[in-house]
Amino acid sequence: MAQFVLETVIAAPVDAVFAASLDPELHVRSMAAHGETMVEAPAGGAFTEGSTVTWRARHFGIPFRLRSRVFDIDPPRGFRDRQISGPFGSFLHVHSFAEHPRGTLMRDVVTFRSPFGPIGRAVDALFLREYMRRVIAARNRTLVAELENP
């Protein structure tokens, strides 16, 4: 399994960062560079315990569909989302939030595995882990921009 951890400080209260992280429309804005859209939005328009969403995006010039479920929501400390169908052999994103002297420390722990056994593990190690880290870092920059400069 490949894994990376990102920590981002946002000059905003923990409750605000937590809520923004559960906003599917903000997620779409943060992934605009990849043409990400919601094929199936969560019921009620917001992520809640057990809600699912289907995303469509383009990475490496290839269109992908990924369906995920949000779970273990613990306001404002964190939540998780997991791929339930899509391009990965497995994908888990743990989001956590803590008070910080400058606002909120947002921590992302992403663990994933590509399909295709040893070939997938090599792809993960050689470039996919770093690529995914950059994708999540770009998402976080959008959160920072929207929360610090509303």
Q: Which helix (H) or strand (E) holds 9?
A: strand 2-10
Per-residue confidence (pLDDT) for residue 43, from 0 to 100: 85
How is residue 57 written in tokens?
């995006």
Consecutive 10-residue averages of pLDDT for the chain (150 residues): 97 98 94 89 90 92 93 98 97 98 98 96 96 96 94
Domain boundaries of the chain, sorted by first residue: 2-148
| pLDDT given for residue 8 in this prediction | 98
pLDDT of residue 33: 85
The dotted CATH code for 2-148 is 3.30.530.20
Q: 134 CB contacts (<8 Å, ≥6 apart)?
A: none
